[in-house]
């Protein structure tokens, strides 16, 4: 059985957050990072 891997594109994450912020205007955005970012690394995802 092959090991499953996922690549998290942090630039895409930034872009998506920018889009959300641009559409919500003055609303604050709060992102939750749960369970070690589902195995993708809590610290790299949280810092971004």
Assess if residue 28 is contained within a domain.
yes
Angstrom distance (rounded) from CA 38 to CA 44: 12
Domain count, the chain: 1
Assess if residue 36 is contained within a domain.
yes
Assess if residue 5 is contained within a domain.
no
Assess if residue 29 is contained within a domain.
yes
pTM over 0.75: no
Burial of 21-36, coded b for 16+ CB within 10 Å and e otherwise, reads: eeeeeeeeeeeeeeee
Assess if residue 1 is contained within a domain.
no
How much is the pLDDT for 34? 76
Assess if residue 2 is contained within a domain.
no
Domain with 16, as residue range(s), is: 10-47
Angstrom distance (rounded) from CA 14 to CA 9: 9
User: What confidence tens digit (pLDDT) does each residue in 1-48 have?
Assistant: 888 777 888 899 889 989 998 998 888 888 787 777 666 777 777 776
Assess if residue 4 is contained within a domain.
no
């Amino acid at each position: 059985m092959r090991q499953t891997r996922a690549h998290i594109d942090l630039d895409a994450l930034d872009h998506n957050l920018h889009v959300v912020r641009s559409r919500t205007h003055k609303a604050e955005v709060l992102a939750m990072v749960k369970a070690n970012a589902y195995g993708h690394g809590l610290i790299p995802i949280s810092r971004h």
